[in-house]
Amino acid sequence: MLKIENLHANVEDKKILKGINLQVNAGEVHAIMGPNGSGKSTLANVLSGRDGYTVTEGNILFENDSILELDPEERAWAGIFLAFQYPVEIPGVNNVYLLKAAVNAIRENRGEPPLDAVEFLALVKEKMKLVKMKEDLLNRSVNEGFSGGEKKRNEIFQMAVLEPKLGILDETDSGLDIDALKIVSEGVNHLRSDDRAFILVTHYQRLLDYIKPDFVHVLSDGKIIKSGGPELALELEDKGYDWVKDEAQAA
Amino acid sequence: MAAKSENVEELVRKDYEHGFTTEIDADTVPPGLNEDVITFISKKKEEPEWLLEWRLKAYRHWLTMEDPTWAHLDIEHIDYQAISYYSAPKSKEDGPKSLDEVDPKLLETYEKLGIPLQEQKMLAGVAVDAVFDSVSVATTFKGKLKEAGVIFCSFSEAVKDYPDLVKKYLGSVVPTADNFFAALNSAVFTDGSFCYIPKGVRCPMELSTYFRINASNTGQFERTLIVADEGSHVSYLEGCTAPMRDENQLHAAVVELVALDDAEIKYSTVQNWYPGDENGVGGIYNFVTKRGDCRGKNSKISWTQVETGSAITWKYPSCLLKGDNSVGEFYSVAVTNNHQQADTGTKMIHIGKNTKSTIISKGISAKQAQNAYRGLVKISKHADNARNYTQCDSLLMGDKCGAHTFPYIEAKNSTATVEHEATTSKIGDDQLFYCRQRGIKEEDAVNMIVNGFCKEVFKELPMEFAVEAQKLLGITLEGAVG
Amino acid sequence: MSNNTEHYLADHERLQDKLEKNWLSEKRLSALSGFEQNGFPNTRQENWKYTDVRAIARGDFTATSDAEVSISHEEIANIRFNDLDCYELTFVNGKFRHDLSQLEGLPEGVIVCDLAEAIEKYENLVSANMTNEAESNVSSFTALNTAFVQHGAFIYLPKKVVLEKPINLLYLAKDQETNFAAHPRNVIVMESQSSAVVIESYIGLDDSQYFTNAVSDLSLAAAARLDHYKVQQESMNSYHIGYLKAQQHKDSYLESHSISLGGAIVRNDIHSQLDAAGAEIVMNGLYMTSGKQHVDNHTRVDHLKPHTLSTENYRGVLNDRSRAVFNGKVIVHKDAQKIEAHQNNANLLLSDDAEIDTKPELEIYADDVKCSHGATVGQLDKDMLFYLRSRAIDEDTARSLLTFAFAEEVISKIKLAPIRHRLEYLVVGQLPDADLIREFTNE
């Protein structure tokens, strides 16, 4: 589904990603871990096409086509969803309205007719249960006045409604208490399926107790320096990141 | 980001939707202004002697005044002798008695504008007075209003049918010598709307006026006077359009509102005069004096305006809060794109005790446009417990535009509470990216964010107007971000 | 226009006779003709809309009196900042007094002297750093100052020099019926990476009527830092016009604290030009007025280049029949992106006869900016008052305490403890129940 080839990317002339290779197949869950400043969030942002990040080398293929030239919305139409580390507040714009506009934009690009109000509401109601969203949050301005946990839940809720092919969760666990973490994880687990893939970007192993990854990658100084199964995450939790770095340096 | 520039330009060049002219026979005086022209207008309208005198007095004072230059505007010199001060569509001697007699071309014009002029469309509950160039063309729903005791007619009719009311209130809020453009208007105004709501009456429907400048080289100088007697209530809507023309046209209106004890007037404007082309050629000069007088206790006047049109807007709808416990409100969205300039805001003059005012102003500038908020909040010595809250926010789109804020606060009473807050920022990159990541096109995302920015003002507008306002905003800003 | 310029022209002729001809003579004359042309500002000018200076124009103040004024060291000791170890330049009625100054121990290369001396010795430095009074937004008072320029402080800090001890400029007024005008001019030149603290104190020692027309020219080279204090305690019958102009280069930092307590008619102008990336100004101000005082504070910041910062916080406490004016202007010039500018003005009206006119302004010609301003006029918080009273504090004390707390917001930002303490003392002194409050606020 996703193939990252020798990806190099800069932020304001500063090299952040220095040659990333990664293949993600449908149905798989990949965890990307690493110390602060290793480039985790940059990777998430580059994948979704955020301004201010320049790809200097390499390629990103999504379903065999390069997406480097695509605008963020075009990537979203293709089925890439980013759950933001810091969900943005948009005063005056209704949460539900944003969602409806998004659903219908994506449907339009798939050649599907727009959902009418009744169909849309049914869809929303169903998905809300998934993340135990309070109904009053629906009619508030996007993320405005939401608590940290509510914002993250809102991200997963949006993902559930938009049903992407690839979900990228950028530090979704940061700032969540254990109950909120459980709810968010249940939401994600529910969305796991054979034709959908996830990339979990996280600093802590904690999230992976609830969402079992198929693969774990360690990112350090813009490169993946070690890959393994779920047991790698536990090892990292135990021993920290330094030993992986040392190992990589020795090699 | 390399936006698809051809696409953007195409959108920017999108035609001014209302830019058609109507070919009809017009009865127009040659350009120029002198006492003869004023006498001609007065005679043409069969006005009483006192009104002619009133006009001439205003004119003589106007001659002693100078164009104001304090606004943050770049105005080309206006040759007041090059303007024609009267243009009436030719019609039958006695004027139309019903819609059937109105020039069908006119009706067609209004239909293009989407004005629900015809009776069958009146189910929406809107009574319309339509002013075309200088003359009021038709007022709908007269019967139903008459039943309620509400007077709603053209200004010329009011002069003939209700001279006492007109004489009592005309110029009582905006005196002839108030300012340069008000003086000019007082001398040459040709028509407008008059509205009187009797004691205790809640006007059964929204009242509405549509203004359109059609003939070239003409100015439009209408005069609106609304009097809400004790305990009455009225909601009044005003919309404006003009055809595309290469030269600038002058619109200098005066609106006077009077609210007596316990009365309430809500005045909403959607201003969509022709803004000129993308090079700043043509467009309306919109120099308007609007003032409401909360004369009675517990009275309330609320201004809501959405200003998307005009090459230059110079306009400060204000409230004199004379009555104790009276309330003044000003909600404004001003959008400027390309070479448009706006210098707009309000004055809240607190005179009575326990008076309250709220000002919410949202300015949006794109391309090379300049947008200024100018406001005065004045707490007089005896205005105990006066309260004001002001918020004015500016949104910038493009590195060549300007947003300016000039709030004046003058407080002479120690029990006053005045709060002013203002912010200026660029349209948020983070917000745009968030929307786009959710699959929403950039243009739509901009629209969505801008509408969210203006929401506090839009919610003050009557439903149909709010929808129109949102659409206008979208049209005005299309292609503004690239 | 009522313009008493003739008096000043005649006074200037007397000055010319006294002074030797030098490189400044011509500059003085051209400034005088500029002043003659424009006359005193009037209320039809937007910048002077709320401040009428006709009383100053009518005052016939003279800058050329020869009267000798005697001041003892004790008198000065009383008004000094306690425990403040500083260099000191003292001026009495506008004239430099070497006998009352203290300049020992200045580090190598640092110059601190009377401007008259600097005019002779450092022509280039002085002439290059004096504000051009012909600039459009400079008032004719500045021209008048230049026409009479003679004394004041000249301060020069060489590259990388960090001056530990503050420099205190003491401007004392003690009139002996001369109706004097003082036109002090302070020229402060900071080379790159230098750092200094300068205090301008204007103090009236009696209640005489006089006119101070001060101008300070500040020039901050790259990464220079200046902490500037202005403490204005002129006599309640005097007039004070002050203009401060700062030219700020890359990464320079200016912190300005302006405290206005005295004067009958007072006008303070601060104008900073942020001329290169990283330049920053912080403006902190407090005005407390009573009686029939009129105090006007105008500030203007020009963000000329990207990545420049300004923050402003001014507060006013108005009593009796006094009137205060605040006008803060932030101009973000074309292409000056990535600007942050924040401005706040809060006012407390303690009397029904007091008046505040405030006008925070933003003029923005760039788009990537974060600017905000706020202004409030109000009274003491009723809930807080109630809370204190429910804790057994009588209403007057509670009011004074909350008023003090309001002013303290500004004073607490002053880092130099001796100055902060002195100001706290002065502010408290203006409140009823001063002794009681001192107990509450003792540090």
pLDDT in tens, B65-81: 988 888 888 888 888 88
Q: Compute the distance between CA of residue B158 and CA of residue A3 in angstroms, rounded to an integer.
A: 77
The mean pLDDT of A17-30, rounded to a whole number, is 95
Q: Compute the distance between CA of residue A81 and CA of residue A98 in angstroms, rounded to an integer.
A: 15
How many degrees, rounded to 5, is the angle at CA C389 between CA C385 and CA C394?
105
Strands (E), chain A: 2-11, 14-24, 29-33, 53-62, 65-66, 80-83, 90-94, 141-142, 166-170, 197-202, 215-220, 223-228
Instruction: Measure the N-to-C terminal CA separation of chain B; round to a whole number of Å.
Output: 8
Flag whether residue A112 sits within 8 Å of chain B, measured between CB atoms. Answer: no
Q: Compute the distance between CA of residue B50 and CA of residue B73 in angstroms, rounded to an integer.
A: 37
Q: How far is C428 from chain B (nearest CA, A)?
A: 21
Give the residue extent of every domain in chain A. Answer: 2-250
Model pLDDT, residue C441: 58
* Lowest mean per-residue pLDDT among A22-31, B110-119, B472-481, C134-143: B110-119
Name the nearest CA neighbour of B61 among B172, B225, B182. B182
Q: Compute the distance between CA of residue C229 and CA of residue C414 in angstroms, rounded to an integer.
A: 9
Chains C vs A: touching, with 3+ CB pairs under 8 Å?
no
pLDDT at B313 > cutoff 50 = yes
Model pLDDT, residue B17: 54
Report the DSSP beta bridge partners of residue B404: B372, C363
Model pLDDT, residue B131: 64
Q: Compute the distance between CA of residue B276 and CA of residue B280 in angstroms, rounded to an integer.
A: 5
3-state DSSP percent of chain B in helix, strand and coil, to 5: 25, 35, 40
Strands (E), A63-164: 65-66, 80-83, 90-94, 141-142
Q: Compute the distance between CA of residue C399 and CA of residue A181 in angstroms, rounded to an integer.
A: 50
Element (H, E) at B461: none
Backbone angles phi, psi at C340, to 5 degrees: -125, 130
pLDDT at B119 > cutoff 50 = no
pLDDT band at B350 (very low <50, low <70, confident <90, very high): very high
Architecture of domain A2-250: 3-Layer(aba) Sandwich (3.40)
Model pLDDT, residue C60: 86
Q: How far is C387 from chain B (nearest CA, A)?
A: 20
SS3 call for B417: strand
Asked if C6 contacts C127 with a C-beta cutoff of 8 angstroms, the reply is no
The mean pLDDT of B208-234, rounded to a whole number, is 81
Which residues in chain C have their CB less than 8 angstroms from residue B421's CB?
Answer: 372-374
pLDDT at B130 > cutoff 80 = no
Shortest CB distance from C355 goes to which of B404, B411, B419?
A: B411
Q: Which residue has better confidence, B422 or C133?
A: B422
pLDDT band at B262 (very low <50, low <70, confident <90, very high): very high
Asked if C115 contacts C152 with a C-beta cutoff of 8 angstroms, the reply is yes
List pLDDT tens digits, range C86-119.
999 999 999 999 999 999 999 999 999 999 999 9
Element (H, E) at A187: helix A178-191
In C19-122, alpha helices (H): 25-38, 54-58, 73-79, 115-121
Model pLDDT, residue B241: 64
Q: Compute the distance between CA of residue B427 and CA of residue B393 in angstroms, rounded to an integer.
A: 12
Chains C vs B: touching, with 3+ CB pairs under 8 Å?
yes
Strands (E), B316-401: 318-321, 327-336, 341-350, 356-366, 370-379, 387-397
Model pLDDT, residue B132: 59
SS3 call for B136: strand
Strands C153-157 and C111-114 turn out to be antiparallel
Report the DSSP beta bridge partners of residue B142: none
Tokens of residue C114, six digits = 């009377």
Name the nearest CA neighbour of B356 among B336, B329, B392, B334. B329
Asked if C206 contacts C235 with a C-beta cutoff of 8 angstroms, the reply is yes
The mean pLDDT of B158-172, rounded to a whole number, is 93
Strands (E), C26-115: 87-92, 95-96, 111-114
Q: For chain B, give the mean pLDDT.
A: 82
Q: How far is B416 from chain A (nearest CA, A)?
A: 30
If you compute the radius of gyration of chain C from its CA atoms, what whole number of angstroms results? Answer: 21
B103: left (phi over 0), alpha (psi -120 to 50) or beta: beta
Please judge whether B453 and A101 are an interchain contact, meaning their C-beta atoms are less than 8 angstroms apart: no
Q: How far is C234 from chain B (nearest CA, A)?
A: 25
Q: Compute the distance between CA of residue C186 and CA of residue B444 in angstroms, rounded to an integer.
A: 57
Q: Compute the distance between CA of residue B315 and CA of residue B313 in angstroms, rounded to an integer.
A: 6
Name the nearest CA neighbour of C227 among C198, C268, C189. C198
Q: Which residue has better confidence, A102 or C133?
A: A102
Please judge whether B379 and C354 are an interchain contact, meaning their C-beta atoms are less than 8 angstroms apart: no
The low-confidence residues of chain C, meaning pLDDT below 70, are 1-3, 136, 176, 436-437, 439-443
DSSP annotation string for B295-330? -STT-EEEEEEEE---SEEEE--EEEE-STT-EEEE
Please judge whether A50 and B433 are an interchain contact, meaning their C-beta atoms are less than 8 angstroms apart: yes
Asked if A131 contacts A156 with a C-beta cutoff of 8 angstroms, the reply is yes
Residue type for position B367? K
Model pLDDT, residue B121: 40
pLDDT at B126 > cutoff 60 = no
Report the DSSP beta bridge partners of residue C371: B424, C341
Q: Compute the distance between CA of residue C99 and CA of residue B443 in angstroms, rounded to an integer.
A: 73
pLDDT band at B466 (very low <50, low <70, confident <90, very high): confident
Q: How far is B394 from chain C (nearest CA, A)?
A: 10
Q: Which residues are CB-contacts of B440 (< 8 A; sequence separation ≥ 6)? A: A73, A98, A101, A102, A105, B448
Strand order in the sheet with A223-228: A80-83, A166-170, A197-202, A29-33, A215-220, A223-228
Model pLDDT, residue B14: 43
pLDDT at B134 > cutoff 70 = no
Model pLDDT, residue B94: 44
pLDDT at B481 > cutoff 80 = no
Model pLDDT, residue B139: 63
Identify the closest residue of chain A to B444 by CA–CA distance: A101
List pLDDT tens digits, range C233-290.
999 999 999 999 999 999 999 999 999 999 999 999 999 999 999 999 999 999 999 9
Burial label for B143, CB within 10 Å (0-12, 13-18, 19+), is exposed
Q: Compute the distance between CA of residue B56 and CA of residue B54 in angstroms, rounded to an integer.
A: 6
Which residues in chain B have their CB less than 8 angstroms from residue C47's CB?
Answer: none
Which residues in chain B have their CB less than 8 angstroms from residue C352's CB?
Answer: 381, 413-415
Shortest CB distance from A88 goes to which of B431, B442, B454?
A: B431
Q: Compute the distance between CA of residue B377 and CA of residue B332 in angstroms, rounded to an integer.
A: 16
Name the nearest CA neighbour of A182 among A145, A216, A142, A149. A149
Report the DSSP beta bridge partners of residue C45: none
Q: Compute the distance between CA of residue B135 and CA of residue B45 in angstroms, rounded to an integer.
A: 10
Name the nearest CA neighbour of B1 among A73, C339, C370. A73
C390: left (phi over 0), alpha (psi -120 to 50) or beta: alpha
* Lowest mean per-residue pLDDT among A219-233, B63-77, B467-481: B467-481
Residue type for position B223? R
> Which of A46, A73, A74, A95 should we substitute to test contact with B (largest number of B Cβ atoms within 10 Å)?
A73
Q: Compute the distance between CA of residue C198 and CA of residue C45 in angstroms, rounded to an integer.
A: 32
DSSP annotation string for B197-236? E-TT-B-SSEEEEEEE--STTB-B-BEEEEEE-TT-EEEE
Tokens of residue C67, six digits = 């009267």
* Lowest mean per-residue pLDDT among A72-81, B213-222, C181-190: B213-222
Which residues in chain C have their CB less than 8 angstroms from residue B406's CB?
Answer: 359, 361
Please judge whether B396 and C369 are an interchain contact, meaning their C-beta atoms are less than 8 angstroms apart: yes
Q: Compute the distance between CA of residue C239 and CA of residue C56 in angstroms, rounded to an integer.
A: 7
SS3 call for B37: helix
Q: Compute the distance between CA of residue C71 and CA of residue C173 in angstroms, rounded to an integer.
A: 10
Element (H, E) at C435: helix C434-441
Residue type for position B140? T
Please judge whether B426 and C368 are an interchain contact, meaning their C-beta atoms are less than 8 angstroms apart: yes
What ipTM was predicted for this assembly?
0.85
pLDDT at B415 > cutoff 80 = yes
The mean pLDDT of B87-112, rounded to a whole number, is 54
If you compute the radius of gyration of chain A from its CA atoms, what whole number of angstroms results? Answer: 18
